[in-house]
């Protein structure tokens, strides 16, 4: 899978691939990461990349021409690339999207800055627009990284143990059951005794019941969905 990040601030993104699982995935050639800076496409002699909003409005926008030309350049060179824009106005990015997008060959993440992006650029290039939550970030880099990370976990070979994906939160509209590491007693709290009996069938039922309770408590919206789909 190839990821191209379109950003004015490559350093805000590249550090994330310097460690851990995604670094290993790059070394193993499962992932390839590239960067395109709209500033390199600016025809302005000062390489300006911000501009006032037509019709007024607080704050500046990313200038239309450098971003449009940068995206056009990528599209011409990679006709099959899939363009994902980060924007608060996008649809909420969820685990289903992470799994679905893991089947693409090349995703281009477009990060806005300032007060955002000219709507015509979004319309011209976007395959999908996603929000990572109902709050405003300074720029789209974190949102793009969040999506990239969640997608990468679902690419075969990226995680050491693919079985762990099946028991994760959101897999069956449920949160994952509580889990415990050694020692059995820590800070005066013990692991529930049922976890120590070594009966795999009982353990699996118990975990399923605990997952339901946890979902009901923390995410009643998800629990309701799980119930209606059962
Ligand atoms: N004026 C915009 C609005 O009210 O919708 C917010 C612009 S924000 C300061 C700058 C950039 O950060 C956006 O263009 C987008 O790329 C990114 N961004 C901010 N919040 C986001 C979110 N919740 N999800 C995805 N991207 C976000």
> 44 and 108 in one domain?
yes
> 133 and 75 in one domain?
yes
> In terms of Cα–Cα distance, which of 28, 32, 37 is closest to 10?
37
Whether 87 is in the pocket of ligand 1, judged by its Cβ within 6 Å, is: yes
CA dist., res. 88 & res. 57, Å (int): 17
Q: Give how many domains the chain has, as a whole number.
A: 2
The residue nearest atom 6 of ligand 1, judged by CA position, is 115
Assess if residue 118 is contained within a domain: yes
Q: What is the CATH number of the domain that holds 106?
A: 3.40.1280.10
> In terms of Cα–Cα distance, which of 214, 212, 213, 177 is closest to 195?
177
Residue 152 tokens, joined: 């990468």
**Taking the complete model, does pTM exceed 0.85, yes or no?**
yes
The residue nearest atom 22 of ligand 1, judged by CA position, is 88
Sign, Cα dihedral of 16, 20, 22, 23:
positive
In this structure, how many other beta carbons lie within 10 angstroms of the beta carbon of residue 71?
24
- Over its length of 230 residues, how does the chain's per-residue pLDDT go in tens digits? 999 999 999 999 999 999 999 999 999 999 999 999 999 999 999 999 999 999 999 999 999 999 999 999 999 999 999 999 999 999 999 999 999 999 999 999 999 999 999 999 999 999 999 999 999 999 999 999 999 999 999 999 999 877 678 789 998 889 999 999 999 999 999 999 999 998 999 999 999 999 999 999 999 999 998 778 76
Assess if residue 174 is contained within a domain: yes
């Amino acid at each position: 899978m190839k990821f191209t990040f379109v950003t004015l601030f490559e350093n805000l993104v590249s550090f994330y691939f310097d460690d851990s699982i995604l670094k290993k995935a790059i070394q193993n050639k499962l992932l390839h990461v590239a960067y395109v800076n709209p500033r390199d496409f600016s025809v302005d002699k000062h390489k300006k990349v911000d501009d006032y909003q037509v019709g007024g409005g607080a704050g500046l926008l990313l200038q239309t021409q450098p971003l449009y030309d940068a995206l056009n350049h990528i599209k011409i060179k990679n006709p099959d690339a899939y363009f994902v824009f980060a924007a608060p106005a996008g649809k909420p990015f969820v685990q289903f999207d992470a799994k679905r997008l893991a089947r693409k060959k090349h995703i281009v993440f477009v990060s806005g800055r300032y007060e955002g992006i000219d709507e015509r650029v979004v319309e011209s290039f976007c395959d999908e627009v996603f929000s990572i939550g109902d709050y405003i970030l300074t720029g789209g880099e974190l949102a793009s990284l969040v999506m990239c990370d969640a997608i990468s976990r679902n690419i075969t070979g990226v995680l050491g143990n693919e079985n762990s994906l099946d028991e994760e939160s959101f897999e069956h509209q449920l949160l994952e059951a509580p889990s415990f590491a050694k020692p059995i007693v820590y800070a005066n709290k013990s692991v529930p005794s049922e976890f120590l009996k070594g009966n795999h069938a009982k353990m699996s039922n118990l975990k399923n019941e605990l997952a339901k309770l946890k979902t009901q408590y923390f995410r009643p919206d998800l629990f309701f969905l799980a119930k209606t789909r059962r």
